[in-house]
Amino acid sequence: MLVPQLINGLTQGSLYALIAIGFVIIFGTMNLVTFAHGEVYMAGAFVGAFAMSLWHLPWFVALVMGMAAAWVLGFLIEKVAFRPLRTAGHMPPLLITIGLSIILKDLAVVLFGAENRPVPSIYEQTVRLAGVQVSVLQLVILGLAGTLFLVLRLVIQGTKIGRAMRATAQDHEAASAMGVNVNRVFSIAFALASCLGGAAGVMIGIYYNAVYPTMGGTAGLKGFAACIFGGLTSIPGAILGGIIIGVVENLTVQFLASGYRDVVAFLVMVIVLVLRPQGLLGRKLKTV
């Protein structure tokens, strides 16, 4: 049962990683933490679920719609909640995102009801790989997450937009003196982060066959944890952090009891952070 548990953990972890990357992008560009990220993920999940269950669209169309919706939501959150408070320090935007998270969650309860909403199953079959029965859906999710990591790498690495994001994070005045439209960079960063969160939401909805208004809470927490675990500003770190959390959780279920999964996962994180305060792939020097 070890190999199937590793695959379970890898699948779970790659979705944590997508959420964690969102925190990294937002923190890495704006030096801010958003607590509404989990709710953006929830919104993306709902759009994907509706696309599949109400409008009977294929899953990849649902995925694109969920990502697009999360993109728009992220864009709006940045415009409405962050931009007016750019010079107000760290606390006010933080509080605003906590408020937004509550508003979005309760709005979802009022609009869609508190109960789980079913998401149609796809790829219900399994395949045997080297003697191990593997769910096709898990392979699809792993493939998608991997593709998104690669696309993100393309965006961030070696292009104007990626450099502008990093420069803005380190000194937004100096960046704007170079002609970087800082507001636009913030918008794109927030929207991009939200879009990845939305993708994770749609995929988790398909994976667990359910979306529900409170789903963003735990997911947001795990993603944030993975982001810190990985080193706060490192995208590979966030991916590694998410996957380690996912795998440790599933191994805990296998060798201890499922009640301990979060305890052990967070314990491992605490130990690593005590030994390596900068996180797995974080830099020793404080950025900015």
Partner 1 sequence: MSLLEIQSVSVSFGGLMALKRVSFALEEGEIVGLIGPNGAGKTTLFNCLSAFQPASEGHLRYSGIALETLSPHQVAALGVARTFQTSRIFRRMTVLEHLLVGRHLHQRTGLWAAIARPAWVAREEAEARECGLRTLALFEDRLLPRLHDFADTLSYANRRRLEIARALVAEPRLLLLDEPTAGMNPHESAGIVQLIKKIRDLGITVLLIEHDMKVIMGVSDRIVVLDHGEKIAEGLPEEIRRNEEVLRAYMGRRYGRA
Partner 2 sequence: MKTKMVPMLLTLFTLLLVAAPVAWSAESIHIAVSAPLTGNFAEYGQNWQKAISMAVEWINAAGGIKGRPLEIVYGDSKSDPKDSAALAQKFTSDNRIVAEIGDFSSTASMAAQPIYDRAGMVQLSPTTSHPKWAPGSPWSFGIVGTQAGEGPFMARYAIERLGKKRIAVLHINNDWGIASKEYFVNAATEMGAQVLGVESYFETEKDFTGVLTKLRGLKPELIYVPSFYNEMALISKQREKLGWTDVVVMGPGSLYSPKLLELGGNSVNGLYTSAVFFPNDPRPEVQKFVKGFEAKYKATPNMFAGVAYDAINLMAETIRKVGTDRKAIRDELVKTKNFPGVTGKIAFTERRDVVKDYRHLVVKDGQFTLFDK
Residue 5 or 183: which CB sits closer to partner 2? 5
Measure the CA–CA gap between 29 and 51, rounded to whole angstroms: 32
Please choose which of partner 2, partner 1, none residue 161 contacts, taking the beta carbon within 5 to 8 angstroms, the exact cut-off set by kind.
Answer: partner 1
Is 116 a binding residue for partner 1 by CB under 8 A? The answer is no
Q: Is the sign of the CA dihedral 283, 284, 286, 288 positive or negative? A: negative
Tell which one of 87, 111, 124, 179 touches partner 1 (CB under 8 A). Answer: 179
> DSSP H helical segments within the chain, as ranges?
2-30, 37-53, 59-77, 91-112, 136-156, 160-170, 172-177, 182-208, 215-230, 235-255, 261-275
- Interface positions, 219-258, toward partner 2 (CB under 8 A): 249-250, 253-254, 257-258
- Closest contact distance (angstroms) between CB of 129 and partner 2 is 12
Please choose which of partner 1, partner 2, none residue 31 contacts, taking the beta carbon within 5 to 8 angstroms, the exact cut-off set by kind.
Answer: none
Is 68 a binding residue for partner 1 by CB under 8 A? The answer is no
Is 130 a binding residue for partner 2 by CB under 8 A? The answer is no
Q: Is the sign of the CA dihedral 112, 199, 241, 127 positive or negative? A: positive
Residue 3 or 154: which CB sits closer to partner 2? 3
Binding to partner 2 by CB under 8 A, coded x per residue (else -) over 189-218, reads: -------------------xxx---xx-xx
Is 61 a binding residue for partner 2 by CB under 8 A? The answer is no
**CB-based burial label for 131 (10 Å; 0-12, 13-18, 19+):** exposed
The answer for residues whose C-beta is within 8 angstroms of residue 226's C-beta and 6 or more apart is 16, 17, 19, 20, 238, 241, 242, 245
**CB-based burial label for 1 (10 Å; 0-12, 13-18, 19+):** exposed
Is 99 a binding residue for partner 2 by CB under 8 A? The answer is no
The answer for residues whose C-beta is within 8 angstroms of residue 143's C-beta and 6 or more apart is none
Residue 79 or 166: which CB sits closer to partner 1? 166
Please choose which of partner 1, partner 2, none residue 97 contacts, taking the beta carbon within 5 to 8 angstroms, the exact cut-off set by kind.
Answer: none
Tell which one of 121, 133, 181, 218 touches partner 1 (CB under 8 A). Answer: 181
- SS3 readout for 194-211: HHHHHHHHHHHHHHHCEE
**Site residues (vs partner 1, CB under 8 A):** 151, 154-155, 158-164, 166-167, 170-171, 173-183, 188, 192, 283, 285, 287-288
